Chain A
Amino acid sequence: EAQVTQNPRYLITVTGKKLTVTCSQNMNHEYMSWYRQDPGLGLRQIYYSMNVEVTDKGDVPEGYKVSRKEKRNFPLILESPSPNQTSLYFCASSQVLQGNEQFFGPGTRLTVL
């Protein structure tokens, strides 16, 4: 089954404790992206990657890091989480961004205390 997976699905942590949210897709997509979703603000892009070893900032990259060492994986790293990073996070992938739809993972609900 074609899908995007994320882990963990739910995470409660404390300020400053480094964490990683994994994202993996089995569709051989070049493009992968991370979004956060907050009430009233919609989906905002954090980082994206056009292919292996190619990453770039989205609209809200502060406090996040990413890497793309393999085509299928695109982990999101919060090195020192803060309460304002409490949000619902989605990973998405697509074959070619322009003109091709993005497929979303199930989401990760993160709470930073």
Chain B
Amino acid sequence: QKEVEQNSGPLSVPEGAIASLNCTYSDRVSQSFFWYRQYSGKSPELIMSIYSNGDKEDGRFTAQLNKASQYVSLLIRDSQPSDSATYLCAIGWEYGNKLVFGAGTILRVKS
């Protein structure tokens, strides 16, 4: 069974700080990695995708992928109260036809 693990949180950070969210996965043949943000009662919204080892930056967001260690992380710089949400990690496998989601990490940014 392919698994995606996330710390459920809540992760609390002060406004302006860096929030670090982590995700580990069980299968070495994973190829595509996504971070979704989900506000309470709303649908998941894609914020980052990463496909190769290393860092990918987009504005205040940086995704980091380490396939050897089987983890992917999301850094949010200059965290804002509007970043308070649940962050879902999703993994696509090479031989499957679906994404598998982690249960999500709740982030709370305190002003």
A residues sitting closer than 8 Å to B (CB atoms) are: 31, 33, 35, 40-45, 48, 50, 56, 58, 90, 97-107
Contact in complex: B44, A43 (CB < 8 Å): yes
Contact of B97 among A40, A42, A44, A97 (CB under 8 A): A97
Chain B contact patch, size range:
20 to 34
In Å, the complex CA distance between A103 and B41 comes to: 16
Contact of A106 among B43, B46, B90, B98 (CB under 8 A): B43
Number of A-B contacts (CB under 8 A): 54
Contact in complex: B88, A101 (CB < 8 Å): no
Given known pairs A98-B31, A105-B43, the reply for A48 and B98 (CB within 8 Å) is: yes
Chain A minimum-CB-distance residue to B43: A104
Contacting residues, chain A, for B103 (C-beta < 8 A)? 40-42
In Å, the complex CA distance between A97 and B100 comes to: 12
Contact in complex: A104, B45 (CB < 8 Å): yes
Q: Is B49 part of the binding interface, using a Cβ–Cβ cutoff of 8 Å? A: yes
Contacting residues, chain A, for B88 (C-beta < 8 A)? 42-43
In Å, the complex CA distance between A40 and B102 comes to: 10
Given known pairs A41-B103, A43-B44, the reply for A48 and B92 (CB within 8 Å) is: no
